[in-house]
Amino acid sequence: MQRAIAEFQSFAGLNITGSRWRVKKLTYKISKYPRVLEKGAVDKEIAKAFSVWSDYTNLQFTPKKSGQVHIEIRFERGEHGDGDPFDGPGGTLAHAYFPVYGGDAHFDDTEQWTINSFRGTNLFQVAAHEFGHSLGLSHSDVKSALMAPFYRGYDPDFLLESDDIQGIQALYGSKNEDGGESNIHQRTTHLPPSSEEDSQLCSNPKIDTIFNSAEGDTFVFRGDLYWKLTTDGVESGYPRLISTSWKNLPGNIDAAFTYKNGKTYFFKGSKYWRYIGRKMDGDYPKDISEGFTGIPDNLDAVTVWTGNGKIYFYKGTKFWRFDPLQKPPVKSTYPKLISNWEGIPDNVDASITYHGYTYFFKDNAYFRFNDRSFSVDVASPSFPRSIAYWWFGCRSTSKGTLENVQWLLKNSQNNSILYSKNSKEISSGMFKINKSCAHDNHDDTALDTLT
C-alpha cells in the first residue's frame, strides 16, 4: 500500500505555489532526532539528502548544532506546535514549509525510519523529497520524479529525475564549474543597487502595507500604486496601479497578508478582499466582522507570526491574535498592548514576516524583531533603520541607525509616555524582553503572560 508523503501542510490543508531562498549558502540543524536511529547515522542521511539538490546547483548546505538556521529539522509525534499534527504510523510521513514560510521540515517520529533497507520507511528518500519543498519545489506530475506526491518505497539505485533537476535549476540556476554564487542576498544584509533609484519611495518611504505573495514576491502598496521589491531594491517598471493587477481592489489599503492556504487577504476600513494570485476569490468585499470575528476595523498592520503560525492584527496601541482553528478565534484575553512586543512602537504602518523575523514599519524607519529570541534583533547598525536604504535601495539615504526618532513608547513601569530621543537606546537594553517570561518558539506564551 502506498503511503502519501505529506504535501505542504497549510492550516487550511491546501497546497500553494513555491518560493525560493535568496541566498545560496544555507544552514540547517536537527533540533530533535528520531528515537530509533543513531544521531551519527541520521546526520549522514540528512547531509546526503541535501546533496541531492546541491549536486545540480550551487546551493551549499552547512549543518549547525545550535543557533539560528535557515532550515530546522525535527522528528515529532502527534501535535507538535504548528497546527498540523502527525497521525501515527502510515499516512503522513513528514511535512515541510516553503522558503517564504521558513523552510522547516518535520518528520513523524512514529514511523519506522530505516537506512539502506527495504523494510520501514527510507529516511534518505523522504528527506530529499521534503527538502525539495523546503527549497521551493511543489509536487511533480511525473510519477517517477522524486517530487511526485507519493512514497514509492526504497530504491537502492536512486537517481534524481530530469523533471526534478529542471525544477530546482529553474529556482536556483545550474551548477557552475567555479561554484560561483549569483548576486542573491538576504534582505537583512543586502547592499543598495547600482540601478536607478525610485524617486517616489526614496523621497517618502512611508508605506501603507507590505506583504509576500504565495509565489515569494514582496510587494509594497501606497495609495493607488504598488512596487515589487527585489533582493537589492525595487524592480524596474514600477510603480504600477493596484487596480490594473488586482482587479476591483481599491487603493489606500490598510493591511495585507498571504496565509498558508496561498490566498492573500487585503483590509481597508471595515471590509476585506481575498485573492488567489491576482484573481479575486469569490464575492468580495466582505465585512471584517464576518470573516475575522473579533478583529476591529481600520487596521494598521497584520502578519502571520512565524513563532506559532497564528495571525496577528495591530491597531493603535493594541494587537489581537487570530486563530482560525479555535472557537472563538480571538481569546477573551485580547486585545493586548503592543508594548508587550518590547521595542516596537504603537501605531505601526505595516508588518511582514521574513526568514524567522518580523519586520515592523513606521514612517521612514523599520525594526527587525527576532521571533526566536522574542526581542528586537541586535545588529550593527542597530534598529530602527532606514526603510529607504535597506528595502528600497536608496543610496542617497543613510544606512545607519536613525537618530532622533520621536515615537511614543509606553513605559511599562509607570505607564507614562517616553520620547525616544536617540535610537541608540535600543541597543543599550531599553527594549530588552523580560526574561522571566517563558517563551516557546511555537506558541506566544510570552505574549499571554506579559501585561
Binding residues for Zn(2+): 80, 82, 95, 106, 129, 133, 139, 147
CA 177 – CA 190 distance, rounded (Å): 25
Is the separation of the CB atoms in 96 and 133 below 8 Å?
yes
**Inter-CA distances, 320 with 26, 165, 350, 448, 449, Å:** 34, 43, 15, 11, 14
Phi, psi of 363 (to 5 degrees): 55, -115
Q: Measure the CA–CA gap between 281 and 137, rounded to whole angstroms.
A: 24
Quote the CA–CA distance of 374 and 342 in Å, as a whole number.
Answer: 8
Chain centroid to CA 171: how far?
Answer: 18
Residue 24, class by beta-carbon neighbours within 10 Å (0-12 exposed, 13-18 middle, 19+ buried)?
middle
Packing angle of the helix pair 123-134, 162-172 (nearest 10 deg): 40
Task: Pick out the residues of the known binding site for Ca(2+).
Answer: 87-88, 102, 104, 108-109, 111, 208, 210, 254, 256, 349
Beta strand extents in 205-262 (DSSP E only) = 209-212, 218-222, 225-229, 240-241, 255-258
Helix (H) or strand (E) holding 322: strand 318-322
Q: How far apart are CA 249 and CA 412, in angstroms?
A: 40
**Is 130 among the residues known to form the active site?**
yes
**Cell, residue 211:** 506583504
Q: Are 234 and 227 in contact (CB under 8 A)?
A: yes
d(CA 36, CA 128) in angstroms, rounded, equals 19
Helix, strand, coil shares, percent, the chain, to 5: 15, 25, 60
Give me the sign of the Cα torsion angle 354, 355, 358, 359: negative
Of 130, 161, 177, 403, which one is the catalytic site residue? Answer: 130
Q: Are 206 and 364 in contact (CB under 8 A)?
A: yes
Binding-site residues sit at 80, 82, 87-88, 95, 102, 104, 106, 108-109, 111, 129, 133, 139, 147, 208, 210, 254, 256, 349
Residues serving a catalytic function are: 130
